[in-house]
Each structure stands twice: as structure tokens, then as C-alpha cells.
Structure 1
Amino acid sequence: MTAPDDRPQDDSVETPAGEHSAAPRPGGPAGQGRPAGSFGDVAGETGEDTEVEAGDASTGPEADGEPFDPAAQAASDELAVARAEAAERLLDLQRLQAEFLNYKRRVERDRELVQQNATFTVLTGLLPVLDDIDRAREHGEVEGGFKAVADALDRTVAQLGLTKYAATGDAFDPTLHEALMHGLSPEVTTTTVDVVAQAGYRIGERVVRAAKVTVLDPEG
């Protein structure tokens, strides 16, 4: 009769020889390879995709390699404000320049007007003297030293712009002539100066004294 075996029985199933070790993966020593599709491979691939997407999603100044500089932005804003203020100051200066030019023209015009008025006043006072000289010439009384003085006076008033006008045959102009008497004549087609009783004088287009004349009107 065989004695019972006191050794504990192992209920595990023995693995046949040769099935305990798996074949090593190519590219590395046995025991260091990973099965295909392991977590490490999946994680590695996922990480690469994540990096590409993160790079594409980046926006802002840093995306172009130009990091945002608050100081530069502040300087740019200040420059824009300074340019706006400079443009406003330029407009103010241009406005002041225009006002100054207008003031200068007005002063020059007023100065010329004052000068003309002064000349007008002086020459108006000389008209009776010029009338006496004209009457003396008509009677042949301007001779010798008196003639030299009369000629010098004529040259002086001419230099001041005074001119004498009105002659027989001129067309009558009520702005230049003062009609003392009207007559009729078949020889004229418009109202015409007949006799100049007193010559007229003007400075430029400004009448100093209207000429006193008699006129002839056309018949019918």
C-alpha cells in the first residue's frame, strides 16, 4: 500500500516548455520591447498631433515672432497725438498768416486812401489858381517869369495825378459834366458839349470838379 504524498499539491497548470518567454521584438534586447499598440506609442503619437495643433492655434503679435511691447505701443499712441496736435497748430498758424495778410492789405489800402484824400484836398484848393492861369493864357497875359511859374505849377499838379478834361465836341457825360444850358442842333446825333465854361479836373477816375459846359441836343 502506497503512502500518501504529504507535499502540497499545485493546482496550477504547468505551461509547456518554450511557452514561458515571448519572442523579443526586433530592434532591442529581449524584455525591452513593447507590444504594438501599447499606451506609450499611442501617447507619443497623440503628443505630436497636439503640438502641431497648438502651434497652428497660436495668435497675436507673438505668432509672427514680434512680441507685444507695451512701451512701443504707448510711444506710437503718443506720436499719433503729437501729429494731430501739430496739424492743429499748423492750421492755426495758417489762419493767423491769412489774417495778417488781410490786415496788411487793409493798412496799405487805408494808407493809399489817406494819401489820395490829402492830395485831393490840396489840389482842390489849387483849382481857382489854375483857372486864373487858364484865363490869363487865353488873353496872352502869361509871359516872362510868370509863364515859368505857371508851367512849373502845371507840371507839379500833373505829377500828383491831376488831369484836366472837357473840350468842345466831347460826348456829354452827366458824371463828368455839369450842363449849364441845352440847345438843339441838326448837326449832332447825341448830346454833345458845345462850349466849355470851366474845365473839369480829376485824379485817376475820381472827379475833383465836374466841367461846366453848354450842350447841344439832336433835333427831334
Structure 2
Amino acid sequence: MSHSFTSDSQDPVREAEEFLYILTHDLKAFARAMRTIPDWIGEDLAAQRIVLSTDAADNLDMLRDYARRLDDTLTALTGLSRVGRLADPPAMHALEGLVTEVCNDLPAHPALSHDIDCGGLSVTGPRNDLKRLFEAVLGNVAVHHDRDFGKLRVTATPWQDRVQVVVTDDGPGIEPALWTAVFKPLATLHPKSETGRSGVGLAIAQKVVRSLHGEIAIIPTEAPRGLSLLFDLPRADGGH
């Protein structure tokens, strides 16, 4: 597949992001083939009534797992490259509706109780980027929670012409020394084979917030466990 660049050569960041999108898009075709071919091999062997040795079967399963993780990583990097560059037109969105929609799609395990209090506030921005933001932040809570049951709280308050959002959970938390590092692409606190995550989620969250002229950071909490994440978004009514 061939592509041509449409980005302005005067904007190296935009050009790099477009190159990342093209690269990951093309590589995903190879990754998906790598996910499918082991199944074809298994079907061909079964049709010929050939039984693989335990070691050979384990190696085939390992190939499937690595191909899946490669595909997932490329998908996440493609999502990162889309933020801001392939965003929906800015529009007004009820914050509580966005958060509730994403919470309803979180995995069933661990069982997280959702406490959402957005004060009836609305924000302005591209719907797809805002969804990516909350999918990244809330999905991160679900993936890293170390108990069968947990609590997830999302609150929002007006702040000048912005809305400050705080996401708090009662999971294992993150050591303060790593509070900055976790926002870097492909950064994970645990092996990717354990979490099933690519380590791009918080990088996507940061990029969405910064594309909307805000900041995102982990903030101290008095609770013995858990984590609090603070970020700000444009207030739909401009603070009036």
C-alpha cells in the first residue's frame, strides 16, 4: 500500500504524526496476518490428523500471543497519532454523559462501583478525542486494579473558563517517583504480558488534554491506597 503525505512540511510535529499513522496502519496488516496464520496452520494439521508435540503447540500459542500484543500496540499507537489530527469538529458535550458511557463499557472484572458527580457541567471539544481521553483514564483504573471489587470516583468543578476533572480510585496506586514517567508512550508499571495493555493509554490522555490547552497530572491523596488524576477541559459556556 502506498501513501502520500498531506501534512505541511513547515510543521514537523504534524508530519511526524502522519508518518506514525501511516507506518502503524501498514504494519497492522502484517500483525493481523501473524495472528491468523497460526490458526490456519492448526487447521491444516488437524485436517491431516497431525498432532503437534507439547513444545511445538506451546510455541504456536506463543506466536499467537506475541502477534496479538503487536497488533494491540500498533492499534494504540495509531490512536495516539489520531488525537487532534483526525479529531471530530469541536462541539458541546455533557460531561456526565461521556463519563457514564465509558464507564458502562469497562470490563466486568474487577467490579468497579462508579460514583460520578460532574455537577451538570458541559465541555467543548472533539467527541472522539474526549472519548479516547476517558477510555484511557478509566480503562487504566480497571486494568491495574488489584482487587475483585473497587471504587471509581469522577468529579468535575468549574474553574475559570475551564472544568477541572478529578478521577480517583482505590487501586494499588503509583509511586510518586513514577508520576511523570507513566505519561510517556509505551511506559508500563508491569509487564505488558500481565496487563494486556500497550502502555499508550496515559500518553493518549495527556495528548488529548494538551490539544485542548489543558494539563493533566497525578496529584497527592490522603488515602492509604489509590490514585487521583487531575486534568482540565474547556468549559462549554466559557465560564459565564
Q: What TM-score, normalized by structure 2, do the two folds share?
A: 0.24
- Which structure has more relative contact order (CA 8 Å, sep 6+)? It is 2
**What is the TM-score with the length of structure 1 in the denominator?**
0.25
CA radius of gyration, larger in: 1
